[in-house]
């Protein structure tokens, strides 16, 4: 019996370990390829090149701005989506749609809505506001693509709030808003921050919607991913350097997610 | 007065009961788990909307099925202590207790001051700065009581309010609750599965079975004239409230209405004495024995209980004994027969 049980354990163990190992190798090998092609000197040079500086600065500023917007608008929306009402399912599908949509399609949609000839764009141009190919457009593209990630996380957190605590608050004469503010939200702050960091990382890597709606103007709309793409057309070496810089940032973001979410970041 | 006529269907379960509690009074609702006690409280609090009936406190109607009226829990002058406490785990004990007043717009410092007083009344002011999630269940239960009492609700709903508190620490907590009921002229409903707790809290007891109130009355009514074997088994515990005086040789005497009960241990002040019916010996004549407590009385009812019979004896004090059917037959016990009930001082549980 023992021998057979152990043999079965071995088979099941292999069925778990082998696919996991292949998965890890696939990711690690691709990322290692970036590092193998790069000398530390090149990386240093890349960080000093003005294009990278500009792109890095723009990426950080725009992605942080989008994250802030996502937090301010996404949190109440997630709270609404967590309470049952008619048409909630349809609304939730609509809000999460940008996750499955190719980003380029998202960029096109933004262009048709806010572009010079767009639905709202025409009205905006009458008051002298033109959004496409501005830094604001970069932020809009990032919000469009990455907000659903945060809203999904936040909605699920709100939906799983302890019903008994909500009931207790109700018997203590607390309004629903007051309850949300003092009972539901505070314990969720770490997990919500984790969701925000995830959205921020997605905004940092945003490419398709940005280049479609905001274009590729160095210093104005050329973010890190676009800079990598452009560099790869002409000079693969500097493209790799920028790519590695982006990878380091993304890695730091994920470590931050794990740390904020309460799990010790053992991979630092 | 709190008046509630409630009909509610939950899956296959049906609750149909009436409840009336006067201001300044408490009613205990007892019954096995699943009898519908908590459901009743949830309806009164407004957390559950009944299918039929009405609920009103004084002139304020909280629920009326015919008028499709359902006042939300926030707008009912009603406080509830949940069986599972439901404290806000990330807040301190003090912030938990102050929550209700702050939610109603009172300034944080004033709310905390009042909350601190109630924590002190319950003997837990030393826990004020501790996070609720880090407290033991007995401590959490007292914080939950404080949180409800701070708002001075006119209707007080308590679901197993002392279940997690050590027996010897219950009397002062019970006193705080009783004082709050009197001071606020509140109507209190205490749900418990512990008949002794029910008797200690309230003058009127409702026994619930399968979603219905099967009997209501004073503890003595239920003991002496139980409506069913279930009620007899449930409420047939002898429980006396009185004032204890320590006496020599490690015993104390408890004065209850017109009689003195001898108990072991040194006790003083208000206490409750509980005597298990199985510990009571019934005889036709006074017997010479080592037992310290012996009382005369007349049998009022005899209810079969398995292989035994519950014998209710009216006297001072009234006593219920549980004897085997054979002994009952041999002694010729029947309603109207005068007997003597005897039990040892060490068989009296004091709390």
Q: How many residues does chain A have?
A: 268
Strands B238-246 vs B251-256: parallel, antiparallel or unpaired: antiparallel
pLDDT of residue A255: 83
pLDDT of residue A265: 40
Determine the 3-state secondary structure of B48 from DSSP: coil
Q: Chain A partners of B90 at a C-beta cutoff of 8 Å?
A: 186-187
Q: Are the beta carbons of B151 and A187 separated by less than 8 Å? A: no
Is it the case that residue B84 has pLDDT exceeding 50?
Answer: yes
* Residues with Cβ within 8 Å of residue A46, at least 6 apart in sequence: A52, A238, A241, A242, A244, A245
Report the chain B residue with the minimal C-alpha distance to residue A166.
B86
Q: Chain A partners of B72 at a C-beta cutoff of 8 Å?
A: 170
Of A3-7, A143-147, B143-147, B284-288, the one with minimum mean pLDDT is: A3-7
* Residues with Cβ within 8 Å of residue A259, at least 6 apart in sequence: A265
pLDDT of residue B98: 96
Report the chain A residue with the minimal C-alpha distance to residue B75.
A173
* Cα–Cα distance for residue pair B3/B9, rounded to 1 Å: 20
Is it the case that residue B142 has pLDDT exceeding 60?
Answer: yes
CA dihedral A73, A75, A76, A79 (to 10 degrees): 150
Q: Chain A partners of B89 at a C-beta cutoff of 8 Å?
A: 187
| Residue B17 CA: distances (Å) to CA of B10, B22, B24, B186, B215 | 14, 17, 22, 21, 11
CATH class of B238-350: mainly beta
Cis peptide before B97 (omega within 30 of 0): no
pLDDT of residue B315: 86
Is it the case that residue B136 has pLDDT exceeding 80?
Answer: yes
Instruction: Write out chain A's pLDDT in tens, 268 residues.
Output: 566 777 777 777 888 888 899 999 998 898 888 888 777 777 777 777 777 788 888 998 999 999 999 999 999 999 999 988 888 989 999 998 988 899 999 999 999 999 888 888 888 888 888 888 899 999 999 999 999 999 999 999 999 889 999 999 999 999 988 999 999 999 998 889 889 988 998 998 899 999 999 989 888 999 989 988 888 888 777 788 778 877 887 788 778 777 766 654 444 3
* Cα–Cα distance for residue pair B248/B56, rounded to 1 Å: 54
- Alpha helix positions (H), B122-207: 137-150, 170-183, 195-201
Helix axes A236-260, A2-36, angle to 10 degrees: 130
Q: How many residues does chain B have?
A: 351
pLDDT of residue B48: 94
Span B32-71, pLDDT tens digits: 888 899 999 999 999 999 999 999 999 999 999 999 999 9
Contacts 24+ apart (CB under 8 A), A42-51: A42/A237, A42/A238, A42/A240, A42/A241, A43/A241, A43/A244, A43/A245, A45/A238, A45/A241, A46/A238, A46/A241, A46/A242, A46/A244, A46/A245, A47/A241, A47/A245, A49/A238, A51/A218, A51/A227, A51/A231
Q: Which two tokens stand for residue B89?
A: 């785990």
Report the chain A residue with the minimal C-alpha distance to residue B91.
A183
In the CATH hierarchy, which fold is given to the domain comprising A43-267? MetI-like fold (1.10.3720)
Place of tokens 């001071």: B183
Distance from the B83 Cα atom to the nearest Cα atom in chain A, whole angstroms: 11
Q: Are the beta carbons of B88 and A183 separated by less than 8 Å? A: yes
pLDDT of residue A38: 75
Place of tokens 């909307």: B49
* Residues with Cβ within 8 Å of residue B247, at least 6 apart in sequence: B253, B262
Mean pLDDT calculated for residue range B89-107: 95
pLDDT of residue A264: 44
Q: Give Cα B90 to chain centroid, integer Å.
A: 31
pLDDT of residue A266: 44
Positive or negative, the CA dihedral B343, B344, B345, B349 is negative
Determine the 3-state secondary structure of B52 from DSSP: strand
Q: How many CB pairs under 8 A join A and B?
A: 59
Q: Which of B78, B84, B88 sits opposite A171 (nearest CB)?
A: B78
In the CATH hierarchy, which fold is given to the domain comprising B2-234? Rossmann fold (3.40.50)
Q: Chain A partners of B156 at a C-beta cutoff of 8 Å?
A: none
Of A131-135, A173-177, B206-210, B233-237, the one with minimum mean pLDDT is: B233-237
pLDDT of residue A267: 42
Report the chain B residue with the minimal C-alpha distance to residue A175.
B74
- By C-alpha distance, which of A249, A255, A251 is closest to A56? A249
Contact B305, B320 (CB under 8 A): no
Q: Which two tokens stand for residue A29?
A: 């090998």
Mean pLDDT computed over every residue of chain A:
86
Distance from the A103 Cα atom to the nearest Cα atom in chain B, whole angstroms: 40
Mean pLDDT calculated for residue range B78-89: 95
Distance between start and end Cα atoms, chain A: 44
* Residues with Cβ within 8 Å of residue A215, at least 6 apart in sequence: A132, A133, A137, A221
* Cα–Cα distance for residue pair A114/A132, rounded to 1 Å: 7
- Give the start-end residues of each E strand in B58-109: 60-64, 69-70, 78-81
What does the domain layout of chain A look like in residue ranges? 1-36, 43-267
Q: Are the beta carbons of A167 and B86 separated by less than 8 Å? A: yes
Q: Which two tokens stand for residue A202?
A: 């997605």
Mean pLDDT calculated for residue range B231-256: 84
| Residue B187 CA: distances (Å) to CA of A198, B19, B40, B58, B153 | 52, 11, 15, 10, 9
| Residue B326 CA: distances (Å) to CA of A112, A141, B6, B309 | 95, 89, 44, 9
**Phi (first) and psi of residue B186, to 5 degrees:** -90, 155
pLDDT of residue A268: 39
Q: Which of A162, A173, A187 sits opposite B103 (nearest CB)?
A: A173
Q: Which two tokens stand for residue B103?
A: 């939610």
* pLDDT grade for B138, boundaries at 50, 70 and 90: very high
What does the domain layout of chain B look like in residue ranges? 2-234, 238-350
Interface of A with B (CB under 8 A): 162, 164-165, 167-175, 178, 182-183, 186-187
Mean pLDDT computed over every residue of chain B:
90
Positive or negative, the CA dihedral B204, B208, B213, B215 is negative
- By C-alpha distance, which of B52, B107, B110, B57 is closest to B79? B57
pLDDT of residue B67: 93
* Cα–Cα distance for residue pair A203/B242, rounded to 1 Å: 73
pTM of the model: 0.76
Asked if B89 reaches chain A (Cβ–Cβ under 8 Å), the answer is yes
Span A33-69, pLDDT tens digits: 888 877 777 777 777 777 778 888 899 899 999 999 9
Q: Which of A164, A174, A178 sits opposite B86 (nearest CB)?
A: A164
């Amino acid at each position: 019996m023992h021998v057979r049980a152990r043999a079965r354990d071995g088979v099941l163990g292999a069925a778990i370990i082998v696919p996991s190992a292949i998965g890890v190798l696939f990711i690690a090998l691709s990322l290692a390829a970036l590092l193998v092609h790069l000398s530390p000197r090149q990386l240093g040079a890349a960080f000093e090149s003005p294009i990278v500086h500009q792109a890095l600065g723009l990426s950080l500023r725009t992605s942080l701005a989008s994250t802030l917007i996502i937090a301010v608008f996404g949190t109440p929306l997630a709270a609404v989506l967590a309470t049952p009402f008619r048409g909630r399912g349809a609304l939730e599908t609509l809000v999460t749609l940008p996750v499955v949509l190719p980003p380029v399609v998202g960029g096109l949609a933004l262009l048709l809505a806010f572009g010079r000839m767009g639905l709202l764009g025409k009205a905006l141009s009458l008051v002298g506001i033109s959004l496409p190919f501005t830094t604001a457009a970069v932020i809009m593209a990032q919000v469009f693509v990455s907000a659903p990630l945060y809203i999904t996380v936040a909605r699920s957190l709100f939906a799983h709030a302890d019903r008994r605590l909500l009931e207790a608050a109700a018997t203590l004469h607390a309004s629903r808003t007051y309850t949300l503010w003092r009972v539901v939200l505070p314990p969720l702050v770490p997990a919500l921050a984790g969701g925000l960091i995830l959205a921020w990382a997605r905004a940092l890597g945003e490419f398709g919607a940005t280049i479609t709606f905001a274009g590729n103007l160095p210093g104005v709309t050329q973010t890190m991913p676009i800079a990598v793409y452009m560099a790869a057309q002409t000079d693969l070496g500097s493209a790799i350097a920028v790519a590695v810089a982006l990878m380091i940032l993304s890695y730091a973001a994920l470590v931050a997610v794990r740390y904020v979410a309460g799990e010790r970041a053992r991979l630092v | 007065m709190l008046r509630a006529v409630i009909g509610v269907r939950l899956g296959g379960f049906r609750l149909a009961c009436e409840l009336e509690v006067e201001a300044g009074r408490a009613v205990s609702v007892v019954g096995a788990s699943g009898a519908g006690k908590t459901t009743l409280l949830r309806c009164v609090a407004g957390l559950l909307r009944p299918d039929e009936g009405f609920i009103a406190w004084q002139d304020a109607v909280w629920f009326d099925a015919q008028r499709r009226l359902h006042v939300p829990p926030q707008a009912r002058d009603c406080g509830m202590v949940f069986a599972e406490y439901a404290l806000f785990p990330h807040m301190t004990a003090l912030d938990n207790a102050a929550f209700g007043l702050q939610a109603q717009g009172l300034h944080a410092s004033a709310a905390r001051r009042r909350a601190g007083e109630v924590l002190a009344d319950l003997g837990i002011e030393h826990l004020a700065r501790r996070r609720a999630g880090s407290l033991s269940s007995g401590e959490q239960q007292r914080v939950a009581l404080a949180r409800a009492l701070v708002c001075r609700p006119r209707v007080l709903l308590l679901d197993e309010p002392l279940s997690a508190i050590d027996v010897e620490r219950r009397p002062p907590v019970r006193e705080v609750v009783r004082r709050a009921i009197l001071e606020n002229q509140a109507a209190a409903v205490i749900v418990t599965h512990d008949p002794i707790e029910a008797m200690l809290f309230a003058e009127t007891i409702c026994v619930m079975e399968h979603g219905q109130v099967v009997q209501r009355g004073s503890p003595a009514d239920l003991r002496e004239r139980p409506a069913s074997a279930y009620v007899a088994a449930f409420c047939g515990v002898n429980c006396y409230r009185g004032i204890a005086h320590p006496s020599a040789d490690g015993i104390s005497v408890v004065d209850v209405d017109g009689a003195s009960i001898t108990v072991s241990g040194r006790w003083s002040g208000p206490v409750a004495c509980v005597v298990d019916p199985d510990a009571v010996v019934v005889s036709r004549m006074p017997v010479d024995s080592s037992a310290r407590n012996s009382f005369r009385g007349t049998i009022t009812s005899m209810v079969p209980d398995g292989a035994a019979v519950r014998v209710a004896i009216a006297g001072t004090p009234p006593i219920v004994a549980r004897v085997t059917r054979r002994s009952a037959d041999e002694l010729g016990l029947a309603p109207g027969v005068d007997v003597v009930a005897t039990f040892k001082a060490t068989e009296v549980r004091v709390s």
